[in-house]
Amino acid sequence: MQRILISRTDRLGDLVLTIPMAQLLKLKRINEVHIGFLVNHYQAPILKHHPDVDEIVEVPVDKRGRVQVAKLVRMLKSKWDVAIDVFPRPQLAWSFFLARIPMRIGTAYRWWSLLYNRRVKLRRKGSGRHEAELNLELLKPLDIEPILLHPRLFVTDSELETAKSHIAQLVRPIVAVHPGSGGSSANWPPQNYFELSKLLLDAGFSVIITGSKAESERFRRLFEPLFEHPRCLNLMGKLDLRGLMALLKLVDVLVSGSTGPMHIAAALGTRTASLMSDSPVSGPVRWHPIGNEAKVFSPLWNFSPQNVFDELVRWLLQPVKV
């Protein structure tokens, strides 16, 4: 059985769009491959319970967040036949080289590309292609022709039951609003998310505000006037990643910028309404959600809260989850 390690150590959404690599490998070589993912600690929960992921390896880092190369080499040595460096970084390329992984796949245009022994001529910027498609190009050295499969994520029944307890008092449609962003792309001003949330509540929708603990500190004062409303639920800083995944599985639509939760919701089959720039680097051509019903508002600065509200009302008149 061939043991293949897929490395993606940047952001949550990027990891979600790398999952089709594992799905395609399992589809083409079922029972012939053991698939592992090399990820950062905060990314790892996304991959739990995925039927196409056999092993999750977390990158060891020091207190400053730097990769501990020697420790990683010891972790990898004699355990993997193939390493695919999807998000190429020199520390990881050196680790795969020093661990003597027989086949090391990466892109061809960086100075450390010499550490790979299978180099793929792949340029992402300006390609006009989706990130998930670009990732699949790295399977060609394994004689796998790219076929775009929609990324899928999985939550357990117990996780869903916990999420249901959070929303038990809400009425549908339920709209999750995620005002934060990792900063990799342009986002709506927080005030716009507040105004949209107010419009939704006034129209009889339920609204859940989601975000990290840091985002809770940042946005709590702005959204606080809404939290007294019986159909508004503040879950900023109150869910771990698996809890957020289960919640997103249950809501009717997620409104957000181009961020990890957008791709997570899409991979769970939940509808998304996404505020995105029109940049070729961070816009919808390369980063739009795939595998779900999705509406993209791009360029985001052309759309007011009223514009997005009107579109959500039309959209959510369709049958919703029960």
CATH number at residue 261: 3.40.50.2000
Average pLDDT, the chain: 95
pLDDT above 80 (res 322):
no
Model confidence at 318, pLDDT cuts 50, 70, 90, reads low
Model confidence at 127, pLDDT cuts 50, 70, 90, reads confident
Query: In the prediction, which pLDDT does 196 show?
Result: 98
In the structure encoding, which two tokens stand for residue 3, read together?
Answer: 């043991």
Same domain, 202 and 241: yes
Q: Which stretch of 90-99, 117-126, 189-198 has the lowest confidence by average pLDDT?
A: 117-126
Domain count, the chain: 2
Asked if residue 321 is part of any domain, the answer here is no
Query: In the prediction, which pLDDT does 137 show?
Result: 97
Asked if residue 105 is part of any domain, the answer here is yes
Same domain, 230 and 82: no
Same domain, 169 and 284: yes
| Structural domain ending residue among the three candidates 118, 142, 166 | 142
Contacts with 308 (C-beta within 8 Å, 6 or more apart), sequence order: 196, 255, 273, 275, 297
Query: In the prediction, which pLDDT does 85 show?
Result: 98
Query: In the prediction, which pLDDT does 317 show?
Result: 74
Asked if residue 178 is part of any domain, the answer here is yes
Same domain, 126 and 184: no
End-to-end CA gap in the chain: 43
Same domain, 186 and 300: yes
Same domain, 165 and 23: no
Asked if residue 320 is part of any domain, the answer here is no
Give the mean pLDDT of 208-218.
95
Same domain, 193 and 310: yes
Same domain, 127 and 163: no
pTM for the full model?
Answer: 0.95
Per-residue CA distances from 146 to 128, 142, 276 (Å): 16, 11, 27
Same domain, 214 and 284: yes
Query: 220-239: per-residue pLDDT in tens?
Result: 999 999 999 999 999 999 99
Same domain, 188 and 72: no
Containing structural domain, residue 221: 157-315
Same domain, 138 and 162: no
DSSP helix, strand, coil percent of the chain (3-state; round to 5): 40, 20, 45
pLDDT above 50 (res 320):
no
**Is 80 or 128 the better-scoring residue by pLDDT?**
80
pLDDT above 80 (res 142):
yes
Taking every pair of Cα atoms in the chain, the longest distance, rounded to a whole number of angstroms, is: 61
Rounded Cα gap, residues 185 and 55, in angstroms: 31
Contacts with 195 (C-beta within 8 Å, 6 or more apart), sequence order: 305
pLDDT above 90 (res 179):
yes
pLDDT above 90 (res 182):
no
| Structural domain ending residue among the three candidates 113, 142, 171 | 142
Rounded Cα gap, residues 130 and 45, in angstroms: 24
Asked if residue 150 is part of any domain, the answer here is no
Model confidence at 30, pLDDT cuts 50, 70, 90, reads confident
Same domain, 198 and 296: yes
